[in-house]
Chains A and B, each alone.
Chain A
Amino acid sequence: MADVAAWADAFRAATDADAELQAHGRHYSCAFQLDMEQRRVHVTMHRGAVEQLAIDPPPLLASCDFGLRASAETWRRMAQPVPEPMYHGIFAANAHHDLRFEGDLLTLMQNLRCFVRHVELLRETGVPV
Chain B
Amino acid sequence: MAAPVFSEVIGRYVTVEVAGAPYKIFFAERGEGPPLLLQHAGGLHTHQWRHALEDDELTARHRVVAFDLPRHGKSDPSPAREWWKEEYRLTGAFLRELTLAMCDALELDEQTVYVGQGSAGNFALELARSEADRFRGVVAMEAGAHTPGAFVDWWQHPHANAAEVGATACWDQMAPQSPDAERWATWFYYTQGSDAFRGDLYYYAVEHDLRERLGEIDTARCPVVMLTGEYAYVPSPQLSRATAEQIPGAHFVELKGIGHFPMSENYPVFRPYLLDALARIHAEAPAR
Contacts and interface: CB of A to CB of B under 8 A. Distances in A.
A4 interface: no
Given A91-B233, A96-B233, A110-B161, A82 B168 contact: no
Contacts of A82: 176-177
A109 B233 contact: no
A54 interface: no
A95 B233 contact: yes
Interface string B66-93: 0000000000000000000000000000
A116 B154 contact: no
Given A96-B236, A110-B159, A116-B171, A85 B165 contact: no
Contact-residue size bin, chain B (C-beta under 8 Å from the other chain) = 20 to 34
B164 A89 contact: no
Interface in B221-255: 230-231, 233-234, 236
Is chain A's binding surface mostly helix, strand, loop or mixed?
helix
Most buried by B among A85, A106, A116: A85
Given A110-B160, A112-B165, A116-B168, A92 B176 contact: no
Contacts of B154: 105, 109
Interface string A21-40: 00000000000000000000
B104 interface: no
Interface in B174-205: 175-177
A106 B164 contact: no
Contacts of B173: 91-92
Nearest to A110: B160
B261 to A, nearest CB: 14
Contacts of A90: 172
Interface in A84-102: 85-86, 88-92, 95-96
A113 interface: yes
B175 A112 contact: no
A57 interface: no
Contacts of A113: 161, 164, 167-168
Given A96-B233, A96-B236, A112-B164, A88 B159 contact: no
A83 interface: yes
A88 B160 contact: no
A82 B258 CA distance: 12
Given A106-B160, A112-B164, A86 B171 contact: no
A85 B161 CA distance: 27
A86 B229 CA distance: 11
Most buried by A among B159, B160, B167: B160
B60 interface: no
A63 to B, nearest CB: 21
Contact of B165 (A83, A96, A109, A123): A109
B172 A88 contact: yes
Nearest to A24: B164
10 contacts: A88-B172, A91-B169, A91-B173, A96-B233, A106-B160, A110-B160, A112-B164, A112-B169, A113-B161, A113-B168
4 tightest A-B CB contacts, nearest first = A89-B172, A92-B233, A91-B172, A109-B160
Interface of B: 154, 157, 159-161, 164-165, 167-169, 171-173, 175-177, 230-231, 233-234, 236
Interface of A: 82-83, 85-86, 88-92, 95-96, 105-106, 109-110, 112-113, 116, 123
